[in-house]
Amino acid sequence: DVKVTQSSRYLVKRTGEKVFLECVQDMDHENMFWYRQDPGLGLRLIYFSYDVKMKEKGDIPEGYSVSREKKERFSLILESASTNQTSMYLCASRPRLATQPQHFGDGTRLSIL
Amino acid sequence: AQKITQTQPGMFVQEKEAVTLDCTYDTSDPSYGLFWYKQPSSGEMIFLIYQGSYDQQNATEGRYSLNFQKARKSANLVISASQLGDSAMYFCAMREGTSYGKLTFGQGTILTVHP
């Protein structure tokens, strides 16, 4: 079974802090994704990566950056956290074949105070 | 314009009955794929079923089937013989072209199964 592990299930940070959300997958998948989920809006793509050190902006990249130094790990960085970044964050991975589904981690519920 | 639309914020169904969750999509790409995911209250996203735009037959996976009507751009999920454990949020999502497998999600439908 594919395992996508997010480092924290719940996280509380303060406005202005630099926040790191970590995601690790164990299936050698090329593609990795970060989404945020908000009520009534579904999941929205923040950033994705199709290879080591490669990254592409998604639909809502403002205020975020990412890092992929190793194939199995994809980090989401909130450069200076703001209250409007309070949300559920979901990481996913997928093999190169486009018909394959994305596999998701359990999510990190992030609160910015 | 919304690329994926789920018009039912909430649905109720009696246990053992069938239920249809609606999904319409908008794309001009001839190659695309449609996915359905289930999200229980615990939060994890569970993949249910996939339909490719060139697939000739509607996809089925156990109690899940996808009513794919290409001309109408709809990809409704049908759950047969509902169970209490089917109570969850359900998301429809679309991948356009190869696009590195990026998915665009709908707003979701909360399904409640009554005993």
A36-55 pLDDT, tens digit each: 999 888 999 999 999 999 99
pLDDT bracket for residue B50 (50, 70, 90):
very high
Residue A106: per-residue pLDDT: 93
Q: Which residues of A55-64 are buried (b: 16+ CB within 10 A; e: fewer)?
A: beebeeeeeb
Residue B12 has pLDDT above 90, yes or no: yes
Residue A90: per-residue pLDDT: 97
Do A92 and B45 lie within an 8 Å CB cutoff?
Answer: yes
* Alpha carbon of A83: minimum distance to chain B alpha carbons (Å): 22
HSE on the CB side for B74, CA within 13 Å? 12
As a whole number of angstroms, the distance between CA A34 and CA A36 comes to: 7
Residue A96: per-residue pLDDT: 84
User: Residue range A50-77: average pLDDT?
Assistant: 95
What number of residues does chain B have? 115
Tokens of B74: 């709809």
Q: Is B50 on the interface with A (CB under 8 A)?
A: yes
What phi and psi, each to the nearest 5 degrees, are found at residue B85? -70, -5
Residue A99: per-residue pLDDT: 83
Residue B98: per-residue pLDDT: 63
Query: A-chain residues within 8 Å CB-CB of B40?
Result: none
pLDDT bracket for residue B77 (50, 70, 90):
very high
